[in-house]
C-alpha cells in the first residue's frame, strides 16, 4: 500500500511512519513547523516539505495513494487562544484540504487525529463519544469541525473516515521544549538533568495517559477497519500527577525536588476516557502499561 502521513516528521506521525515503512510505501508531508527531519532518521520514506494548507501540494502528493494518516496540526490549546486564525488555517482548513485531496485522488480511507479537548471542562466521567461537546478553546472547535467535515465527506462522497480522539499521548520524540509540551516529556527532561519539577496545583489532578505505540496501533487498525466514525484513544485509566512524578523517578532511579505551583489557567481537574467503542468496533485496546511506556520514554530522553 502507499500511505500518506501528514505531520509525519512530528511526534506521533513519525511513529506511524516507522510502523509502516517495512511493508508499505510511505510519503511524509510536513512543513517542519513543529516536526524535525531527524525524527525520520532510519525511516525510509519520501519526504515532501509543505503544509496541509496548500491544497495543490496535497492534490499532487496524494496521487496513487491508498490512505492518509492525517496528523498535521498546531496541537496547542493556548496557541489557538492566542492565534485563532493561524491555528484555524492549519487545523481546520488543513483538514478540509486533506479531505478534498483524498476524495479527488480516490483514497480508500482517511484516519485523522482528533482530541479529548472536545470534552472540555464538563466534569462527567468517563468521557464517551456520544457526550455533547463542551468546547473551551478554538483548538477544540477546530478539531470538532474537522470531525464534522469528515462525516459530511462520508455522507456526500462515500469517503471512509475515522477520527481518533487522542487523550494524553506520551512517548519518545515528544518535544519537551515549550511550557505547553506534554507533562511527561517535560518531567522526563528535567528528571534526567537532575532539575526540580513543578506540579501545577496539588498534583491530585488526573489524566488518561496513553503510550504513542498504542496510538500508532489504533491508527493502523482504524485504517484497516471497514468502520468509520469517532473513537476515544486512551488507556481508560486515571493517573494523578503525584503518582506520575513518583513513577517516573522510580523508573530512572533519579530523585529530584518536586515543587508545587499555582493551578494552570484552563486546566481540567480530571480526565478519563471510556474506551469501549474502540475495543468493540476497531478491536483496539492499549497494551502498553504506564510504567513500561515511561521506561521507554526515559530511555530515549
Ligand atoms: C492535553 C493535550 C492538549 C489538549 C488537552 C485537552 C497534551 C500534551 N496536551 O492537555 O493538546 O488536547 O489535553 O484537555 O497531551 N503539568 C504540571 N507541570 C508541568 C506541565 C504540566 O503539573 O510542568 C500538569 C498540567 O497542569 C496538567 C497536566 O500536567 O494538569 C497535564 O498537562 P499537559 O499539558 O501534559 O496536558 P493537558 O491535559 O493539559
**Band of the pLDDT at 176, cuts 50, 70, 90?**
very high
Examine the pLDDT at 2 and tell me if it is beyond 90.
yes
Calculate how far, in angstroms, residue 183's C-alpha sits from the geometric centre of ligand 1: 6
Q: Please tell me the pTM assigned to this model.
A: 0.98
264 C-alpha to ligand 1 centroid (Å): 9
Exposure string for 181-205, b = 16+ CB within 10 A, e = fewer = ebbbbbbbbbbbeeeebebbeebeb
Q: Radius of gyration (Cα) for the chain, nearest Å?
A: 18
Q: Is 137 left (phi over 0), alpha (psi -120 to 50) or beta?
A: beta
pLDDT computed for residue 4 by the predictor: 98
pLDDT value at 266 more than 90: no
Is residue 34 lining ligand 1, measured as CB closer than 6 Å?
Answer: no
pLDDT band at 65 (very low <50, low <70, confident <90, very high): very high
Instruction: For residue 27, name the pLDDT band (cuts at 50, 70, 90).
Output: very high
pLDDT tens-digit series, residues 239-251 = 999 999 999 999 9
| 158: Cβ contacts below 8 Å, ≥ 6 apart | none
**ipTM, 2 dp:** 0.96
pLDDT digits (tens, 9 = 90+) for 185-220: 999 999 999 999 999 999 999 999 999 999 999 999
For range 90-110, the mean pLDDT: 98
Q: Specify the ligand 1 atom closest to the Cα of 181.
A: 8
Q: Is 246 within 8 Å of 197 (Cβ atoms)?
A: no
| Rounded Cα distance, 258 and 203, in Å | 10
Question: Ligand 1: does its nearest atom lie under 6 Å from the Cβ of 53?
Answer: no
Q: Which CATH superfamily is domain 2-166+212-234+274-286 in?
A: NAD(P)-binding Rossmann-like Domain (3.40.50.720)
pLDDT at 203: 98
- Residue 128: the pLDDT is 98
Alpha helices (H) in 126-200, listed in sequence order: 138-157, 183-192
Cβ 81 under 6 angstroms from ligand 1: no
Q: Is 121 in the pocket of ligand 1 (CB under 6 A)?
A: no
For range 163-175, the mean pLDDT: 97
Q: Is the pLDDT of residue 277 over 90?
A: yes
Residue 265's pLDDT is what? 85
From the candidate CATH numbers 3.90.25.10, 2.10.109.10, 1.10.8.80, 1.10.3720.10, the one assigned to the domain spanning 170-206+238-270+292-300: 3.90.25.10
Q: What is the pLDDT of residue 61?
A: 98
CA-CA distance, 240 to 270, in Å (whole number)?
9
Phi, psi of 59 (to 5 degrees): -60, -35
Centroid of ligand 1 to alpha carbon of 182 (angstroms): 6
For residue 179, pLDDT beyond 80: no
List the grid coordinates of 266. Answer: 484552563
Strand segments, DSSP code E, in the chain are 2-6, 25-30, 46-49, 67-70, 109-115, 160-166, 168-170, 197-200, 206-207, 209-211, 229-233, 239-240, 258-261
Q: Is the CB of residue 100 below 6 angstroms from any atom belonging to ligand 1?
A: no
pLDDT in the model for residue 180: 73
pLDDT above 90 for 79: yes
Q: Compute the distance from residue 90 Cα to the ligand 1 centre, in Å.
A: 21
Mutate to test the pocket of ligand 1, among 207, 238, 259 (most ligand atoms within 8 A of CB): 207
Task: Report the SS3 class of residue 74.
Answer: coil
| CB distance 182 to ligand 1 below 6 Å | yes
Q: Per-domain residue ranges for the chain?
A: 2-166+212-234+274-286, 170-206+238-270+292-300
Amino acid at each position: 500500500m502507499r500511505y500518506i502521513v501528514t505531520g509525519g516528521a512530528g511526534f506521533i506521525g513519525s511513529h506511524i511512519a516507522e510502523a509502516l515503512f517495512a511493508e508499505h510505501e510511505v510519503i511524509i508531508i510536513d512543513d517542519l513547523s513543529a516536526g524535525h527531519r531527524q525524527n525520520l532518521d532510519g525511516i525510509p520514506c519520501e519526504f515532501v516539505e509543505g503544509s496541509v494548507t496548500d491544497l495543490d501540494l496535497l492534490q499532487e502528493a496524494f496521487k496513487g495513494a491508498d490512505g492518509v494518516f492525517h496528523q498535521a496540526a498546531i496541537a496547542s490549546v493556548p496557541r489557538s487562544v492566542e492565534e485563532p486564525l493561524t491555528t484555524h488555517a492549519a487545523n481546520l482548513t488543513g483538514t478540509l484540504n486533506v479531505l478534498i485531496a483524498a476524495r479527488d485522488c480516490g483514497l480508500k480511507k482517511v484516519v485523522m487525529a482528533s482530541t479529548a479537548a472536545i470534552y472540555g471542562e464538563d466534569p462527567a466521567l468517563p468521557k464517551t463519544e456520544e457526550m455533547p461537546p463542551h468546547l473551551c478553546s478554538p483548538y477544540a472547535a477546530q478539531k470538532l469541525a474537522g470531525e464534522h467535515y469528515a462525516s459530511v465527506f462520508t455522507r456526500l462522497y462515500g469517503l471512509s473516515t475515522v477520527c481518533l480522539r487522542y487523550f494524553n499521548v506520551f512517548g519518545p520524540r515528544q518535544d519537551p521544549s515549550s511550557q505547553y509540551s506534554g507533562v511527561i516529556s517535560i518531567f522526563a527532561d528535567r528528571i534526567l538533568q537532575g532539575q526540580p519539577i513543578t506540579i501545577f496545583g496539588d498534583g491530585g489532578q488526573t489524566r488518561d495517559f496513553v503510550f504513542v505505540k498504542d496510538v500508532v496501533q489504533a491508527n493502523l487498525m482504524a485504517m484497516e477497519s471497514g468502520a468509520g466514525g469517532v473513537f476515544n484513544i486512551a488507556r481508560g485509566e486515571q493517573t494523578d500527577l503525584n503518582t506520575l512524578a513518583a513513577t517516573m523517578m522510580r523508573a530512572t532511579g533519579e530523585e529530584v525536588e518536586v515543587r508545587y505551583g499555582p493551578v494552570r489557567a484552563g486546566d481540567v481537574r480530571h480526565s478519563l476516557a471510556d474506551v469501549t467503542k474502540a475495543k468493540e468496533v476497531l478491536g483496539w485496546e492499549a497494551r502498553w502499561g504506564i510504567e513500561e511506556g515511561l521506561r521507554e520514554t526515559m530511555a530515549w530522553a
